[in-house]
Structure 1
Amino acid sequence: MRATRLVTLLLLLQNRGRMTAGQLAQELEVSVRTVYRDVEALGAAGIPLYGEAGHAGGYRLVDGYRTRLTGLTADEAQAAFLAALPGAAAELGLGEALAAAELKLRAALPAELRAHAGRIRERFLLDAPGWYGDADRTPHLSAVAGALWERRALVLRYRRWRAPEEIERRVEPYGLVLKAGRWYLVAAAPTGIRTYRVDQILGLRTLDEEFTVPDGFALGAYWTGYLADFRARLHTGEALVRLTPEGARRLGVPAAGEGWTQARIPIESVAHAHGEFLRLGADIEVLEPLELRARIAETVRTLAARYAT
């Protein structure tokens, strides 16, 4: 809409000072001719801006002029809370709203704070996903987010790790969590509040049924409890090990001087610990459980025989 574009042009000049017609056209994704027409329209509306000719010229507002057209739309307000994660905002379909919200927030700041915000943006970057592995494909994320905003129930076709691997379930979406580059849906299901990986949703349909989130439910508190329960279920066993100073450092265990350190380490399972401890090579010796020690010893013998040739 032209009205939105005119406001954006005005805010760009207020935030950045002098800008050429070409720069404005690039920011607004329009032609230079359109920028000329928009500038004329703003001037006719009484906005005190003027153009300067020459190589270093451009358009600028009269010194001291500031617009109060900085109110945020609903989408922009939602996007503002995702300002630290522009990739996440884009995945939720709020990329353009985030850009507009940021522009309006910067316009509302005093000049010295705008400069400070700009320096922060130049010097700090939050990159949430981990190093290894491609980002999960989440084709249904926007639909899930839409149902979440509108408080609409969903029917999910979902893939899980245990049998039956594919299920269909009606859920009421309470919240979305971005953890280490992966999206999780927190939703009420027939068996209680459950957590679903969004990339494991095979299909969905949004129902006309509206729902109400129970009083007292807080997404942050639920997620904290979920993580604590997950960790408690994850580490159900224990291993007694000896570690070199390097092994202790890599496992985050306080080292007992320059020699070996004996410690008890929580483990998820023998199979999982087998792979994790092998990464430490000669910096670890497993003493207990005997099943884990025997499995590692067998792997080492196999490797020794393989590389002996």
Structure 2
Amino acid sequence: MKSSRLLSILLLLETRGRMTAAELAGELEVSVRTVYRDVESLHAAGVPLYGDAGHRGGYQLLAGHRSRLTGLYAREAEALVLAGLPVAADELGLGGHFADAQLKLRAALPAPLREHVDRLRTRFHIDAPGWYAESTEAPFLPQVAEAVRAGRVLAVRYRRWKEPTEVDRRLAPYGLVLKAGRWYLVAGPGPRTYRVDQIISLTVTDEEAAAPPGFDLAAHWRESQRDFHARLHQGEAVVRISPEGVARLAGAAARAVAETGVREPDGWTRATLPVETPDHAHATLLALGAEVEVLAPRELRDRVAATVRTLAERYA
């Protein structure tokens, strides 16, 4: 609705400063012509908003103007409450600040909306790690987070899986990512990704660090995840799997059955599954027991059959 859009224009200009009509239109998902009409409406309402023409032009508010917009719609307040991750804030050393911000947000809400948000907070809880994920301690996480905020190079001693297992690195921090309860540092040169819980020692230097121009942490993470999964599943296995076996699949295997599976007359499904190493495929398919039959590749089928024969002899 128009009133909501006018408020959004004011908030965008207050938080970002000068913006062109095209930029505002992109943010609001409307036409540039609509932005022109909205700006005229703000002018008519006495908002000290002006625009400059030319290559470096755009709209902006007069210096010092603040609209004091404290109203929130119910869905907006809900989104802010559910977006809060107090555990992550604690790990980053911001637990006290997070609590203060929550109090200020609550105090700014009108009474009916405050009661609604209080009820919402008691009914939703975010627990990011998986059920079987071991808790990992990252004692240097607050220092890493401070280096990210301040833009300072880190001198670290890092533990990795290959030889030599302990290496010294100078890292320019670009950002932190929380994935399934584990913190990752994206840093240059590279950029490359480091597990924060594998940092053995750390010194925050006085050397300034900055991400490359245009670097987008979220976009980089999505791309790195796609590359990881592409490298992870480089093989395939053709299988027949029972309805119970299909129900026990998850992740890439479940998606593959949904995309390639063909139901056969006996109720089983023939599908092509992505697999990692032969060892991993062998262990994963054996975990399904009698609910799966490996058809190809022949080497994997023979290996599973040999393991089944060994088990049969052992339990005979």
The reply to whether TM is greater than 0.5 is yes
Does residue 110 of structure 2 align to residue 103 of structure 1?
A: no
Query: How does 1:113-128 map onto structure 2 within 5 Å?
Result: 113-128=113-128
Deviation of 1:89 (Å): 0.7
Does residue 295 of structure 2 align to residue 299 of structure 1?
A: no
Supply the distance in 2 between the matched residues of 1:277 and 1:166 (Cα, whole angstroms): 35
Write the deviation string for residues 25-72 of structure 1: whole angstroms up to 9, x where unpaired.
Answer: xxxxxxxxxxxxxxxxxxxxxxxxxxxxxxxxxxxxxxxxxxx9x9xx
Any idea what SS the aligned residue of 1:132 has? coil
From the superposition, tell whether residues 104 and 126 of structure 1 become closer, same or farther in structure 2 (CA, over 3 Å).
same
Aligned residues: 229
Does residue 85 of structure 2 align to residue 85 of structure 1?
A: yes
Any idea what SS the aligned residue of 2:192 has? strand
Query: How does 1:157-306 map onto structure 2 within 5 Å?
Result: 157-189=157-189, 192-251=190-249, 252=254, 253-254=257-258, 256=263, 259-306=267-314
Deviation of 1:82 (Å): 9.5
Write the deviation string for residues 101-148 of structure 1: whole angstroms up to 9, x where unpaired.
Answer: 100110011112111211110111110011114311111111111111
Contact 2:173 2:210 in 1 (8 A): no
Q: State the TM-score, normalized to the length of structure 2.
A: 0.69
From the superposition, tell whether residues 81 and 211 of structure 1 become closer, same or farther in structure 2 (CA, over 3 Å).
farther
Consecutive unaligned residues in structure 2, runs of 5 or more: 1-67, 71-79
Deviation of 1:288 (Å): 1.2
Contact 1:177 1:184 in 2 (8 A): yes
Supply the distance in 2 between the matched residues of 1:197 and 1:291 (Cα, whole angstroms): 36
Contact 1:185 1:196 in 2 (8 A): yes
Any idea what SS the aligned residue of 1:213 has? coil
Does residue 143 of structure 2 align to residue 143 of structure 1?
A: yes
- Aligned-partner residue type, residue 134 of structure 2: D
Supply the distance in 2 between the matched residues of 1:130 and 1:305 (Cα, whole angstroms): 37
Supply the distance in 2 between the matched residues of 1:131 and 1:122 (Cα, whole angstroms): 22
Work out the percentage of aligned pairs sharing the same amino acid.
59
- Aligned-partner residue type, residue 122 of structure 1: T
From the superposition, tell whether residues 81 and 117 of structure 1 become closer, same or farther in structure 2 (CA, over 3 Å).
closer
Supply the distance in 2 between the matched residues of 1:218 and 1:273 (Cα, whole angstroms): 35
Any idea what SS the aligned residue of 1:167 has? strand
Contact 2:237 2:272 in 1 (8 A): yes
Supply the distance in 2 between the matched residues of 1:268 and 1:103 (Cα, whole angstroms): 48
Supply the distance in 2 between the matched residues of 1:133 and 1:219 (Cα, whole angstroms): 25
- Aligned-partner residue type, residue 107 of structure 2: A
Consecutive unaligned residues in structure 1, runs of 5 or more: 1-67, 71-79
Contact 2:174 2:210 in 1 (8 A): no
Q: State the TM-score, normalized to the length of structure 1.
A: 0.70
Moved more, 247-256 or 91-100: 247-256
- Aligned-partner residue type, residue 203 of structure 1: S
- Aligned-partner residue type, residue 100 of structure 2: A
From the superposition, tell whether residues 221 and 82 of structure 1 become closer, same or farther in structure 2 (CA, over 3 Å).
farther
Query: How does 1:31-110 map onto structure 2 within 5 Å?
Result: 84-110=84-110
